[in-house]
Amino acid sequence: WQEVGWRAASAALSDLAASGAEVVGLTASVGTPREAPADDLVELMRGVGAAVAAVGGRVLGGDLTRAPLWMVDITVVGRAARPVGRSEARAGDVLWVTGTLGGARAALHAWESGSAPSPGARERFAHPIPRIKEGRWLAAHGAHAMLDISDGLGGDAGHLAAASGVRVELDLEQVPVHPDAVACALARGDAVQAFAARGGEDYELLVALPKTFDDLEARRFQQDTGT
């Protein structure tokens, strides 16, 4: 239940990261079946609280109600002097991603196959880290457009392109792949980078930066954010 709470909160907080925003906090509205043990709710909210605390925010309030099924609705609150959207990418920009991709897809594939995912893949699916610090750094260093990768790199690059009115070209050889995604793709007989690019719910950031943003700037980003 802590994983459920963490993941629900982190998925919402990831949208603040994609805006380059600072976290203020969140509200959580939870619906529980009548027969649900109270301890399950406590553990779920412990996960929600831990996720928002990890990025400098707090639980601001919420609501609790009876429901036929479990429901968790998270609303996040943040602030940014210059929020970054997805509609300002420009011709000539270069696309970058934070972290590695495909780990969440590897976990989902394992569950769908009736097996347990590796610890690393499970962590990527159940315990995503909202890239708040990374989003704020990128916003401060000239990001033109940004969004979090929830629909897969291929899908979200398409969203960015459509919103910005530009064409996007992806070089799959440059896609950073999570180690567990490598093992899963090879076991399936899939091309590793394509497997990672099609996987969703990694909650990394896809960012369009000026072409002047080079490998030196990328190393500075890694040093400053620890990513």
Rounded Cα distance, 14 and 17, in Å: 5
pLDDT (0 to 100) of residue 227: 82
Please write the tens of the pLDDT for every residue from 2-12. Answer: 999 999 999 99
Q: What is the CA radius of gyration of the chain?
A: 18
C-alpha distances in angstroms, 107 versus 127, 178, 198?
12, 11, 14
pLDDT tens digits, one per residue of 115-172? 999 999 999 999 999 999 999 999 999 999 999 999 999 999 999 999 999 999 999 9
pTM summary value: 0.94
CA distances from 6 to 69, 108, 126 (A): 19, 17, 8
pLDDT per residue as tens digits for the range 33-86 = 999 999 999 999 999 999 999 999 999 999 999 999 999 999 999 999 999 999
